[in-house]
């Protein structure tokens, strides 16, 4: 199959496939006319890449999975290098989520404080909000 068909079947673009090839991630055979040629196994590699990318893995992090599949393993994560990437990613995610949660709480506190200050500055203002019900 040629590049357009592979791209269509994987739900991506030819530009992306050429980019992966330029990174050495998904090299293609060439037909006599210079056209890139792919087979079903390439589709499998490509799907592995896209799945991990959807998880937020960057391209380099998908490399061990791709090489694992190319080496004949049944799954991209059947190799130690892939497991190492999983573990590192898990740590990264935990750290990032922790950080973001901290920021989230800080922002929430700032918001609450600023809202209180605004309400104090505009007493009996335009937003009584929830007291004693509205007109419904």
Partner DNA sequence: TGTTGCCTTGACGCCAGGGGCAAGGATTAC
Partner DNA sequence: GTAATCCTTGCCCCTGGCGTCAAGGCAACA
User: Using CB under 7 A, which of 44, 59, 73, 79 touches DNA?
Assistant: 59
122 binds, among DNA, a copy of itself, none (CB under 5 to 8 A by kind): none
Q: Which does 34 bind (CB under 5 to 8 A by kind): DNA, a copy of itself, none?
A: DNA
14-22 and 40-54 helices, crossing angle to 10°: 90
Alpha helix ranges (H) inside 11-126: 14-22, 40-54, 59-70, 80-121
| Least distance between a copy of itself and beta carbon 115 (Å) | 7
Among 39, 40, 60, 115, binds DNA (CB under 7 A): 60
Residue 56 CA to residue 107 CA, distance in Å, equals: 25
In the region spanning residues 32 to 61, those forming contacts with a copy of itself, defined by CB under 8 A, are: 55-56
Residue with structure tokens 């009584």?
A: 128
Query: Vertex 56, ends 55 and 60: CA angle to 5°?
Result: 115
Which spans of this chain sit near DNA (rule: CB under 7 A)? 2-5, 12-16, 18-19, 28, 32-36, 53, 58-60
């Amino acid at each position: 199959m040629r590049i357009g068909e592979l791209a269509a079947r994987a739900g991506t673009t030819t530009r992306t496939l050429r980019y992966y090839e330029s990174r050495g991630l998904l090299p293609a055979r060439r037909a006599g006319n210079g056209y890139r040629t792919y087979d079903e196994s390439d589709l499998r590699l490509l799907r592995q890449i896209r799945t991990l990318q959807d998880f937020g893995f960057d391209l380099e992090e998908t490399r061990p999975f791709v090489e694992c599949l190319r080496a004949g393993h049944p799954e991209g994560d059947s190799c130690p290098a892939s497991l190492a990437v999983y573990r590192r990613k898990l740590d990264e995610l935990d750290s990032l989520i922790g950080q973001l949660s901290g920021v989230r709480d800080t922002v929430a506190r700032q918001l609450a404080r600023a809202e209180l200050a605004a309400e104090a500055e505009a007493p009996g203002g335009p937003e009584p909000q929830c007291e004693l019900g509205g007109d419904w």
